Structure 1
Amino acid sequence: MKIIKTTLPYQSLLNNSEKKYDYIDSFQGAINVIDNKFTSTDIGKAFFSSGPQWVSKLFSLRNKIVSVFGLKTSGENTNREKQLQNFKCEPGEQMGLFKVFAKNENEVILGEDDKHLNFRVSLFLGPQISGTTIKHTTVSTTVEFNNWFGRLYFIPVRPFHKLIVPTMLKGIIKEMEKKNGQHNVAK
């Protein structure tokens, strides 16, 4: 499965913002969408359910380190599976550190505002490519630094971020295509 670095989709809600971002990146992959059944809620749930174990361990380490500085953490969730089942991916909902800021039929915007920086993650399902069963799926991240500490914090985070996002996107695509197979079995 090929993941490529790309630009923020023109149709993204983050691209319609008046904000100037200090950092932006986007990664894109192709997903096979039989019967065009996927929704933005599907991609939002896949984001939270498809990450590899090493990403979870890195996030736990991050939480331990930043809690010393009074930054927001995802907290401990003893029943993440149940929380994910009840997660509707609606604006205002929170899943760990990620709050849902916006959602439409093609995109979910997740993120958080903290004293050092504000970040948003766009999970974007592009239109189906004509004559195929393929849609491009793009994960984009924007960051606004609120102070010098935000810039300092992001220096060690940036290289990990560039490894984590493509890995997460591969997991999202695999998770959604697995569900795609379930759609076909049900018919």
Structure 2
Amino acid sequence: MRDAISARFGVKRIGGFSGGLVELSQVGGQLDFFLIERLEDTKMTLTARDRHLDVMICIEMDGCKINITASVVTHNLFGRLYMIPVAPAHRLIVWLQLRRLLLPTVPKPHAG
């Protein structure tokens, strides 16, 4: 849905997340639609840029704790309008994805 609406305004299609296991390449490589800017043992910084906005995501491990910081810089009116519904939606999306990652579902026993 995001791609269909945003493409009309010149926003690059992202095609969603692959959802599969990914072997991180190196700085300068891609992780889905993000550019890997920094890659260390406990920290990864990703960016995505277009003419409407720049996004930077920093994921850092501190023991068993995961810190995720997102920064968005808008460049024009469309970028600002785009972020109005996207900001709260991204909080939910990140929470759901982390929950799925950290609390994998346990198969239900077969009735029988």
TM-score by length of 2: 0.77
Q: Do residues 121 (structure 1) and 60 (structure 2) align?
A: no
Structure 1 counterpart of 2:26, which letter? Answer: E
Task: Name the CA shift for 1:174/1:110 in 2 (closer, same or farther; >3 Å).
Answer: farther
Q: Following the alignment from structure 2 to structure 1, what is the Cα–Cα distance between the partners of residues 39 and 13? A: 23
| Count of residue correspondences | 104
Return the offset for 1:89: 4.2
TM-score by length of 1: 0.49
> Is the Cα contact below 8 Å between 1:139 and 1:169 reproduced in 2?
no
Q: With CA pairs under 8 Å and 6+ residues apart, which has the higher RCO, 1 or 2? A: 1
Map of 1:7-156 to 2, 5 A cutoff? 61-75=1-15, 81=20, 84-85=21-22, 87-126=23-62, 128=63, 135-156=64-85
Task: Name the CA shift for 1:162/1:75 in 2 (closer, same or farther; >3 Å).
Answer: closer
> Is the Cα contact below 8 Å between 1:110 and 1:122 reproduced in 2?
yes
For the residue of structure 2 that corresponds to 1:92, the secondary structure is: coil
Q: Following the alignment from structure 1 to structure 2, what is the Cα–Cα distance between the partners of residues 168 and 107? A: 18
Overall identity of the aligned pairs, in %: 29
Q: Following the alignment from structure 2 to structure 1, what is the Cα–Cα distance between the partners of residues 67 and 43? A: 9
Structure with the higher fraction of residues in helix conformation:
1
Task: Give runs of ≥4 in structure 1 deviating > 4 Å.
Answer: none
Task: Deviation per CA, 1:49-93: give whole Å up to 9, x if none.
Answer: xxxxxxxxxxxx11121111111122489x875xx55x3242111
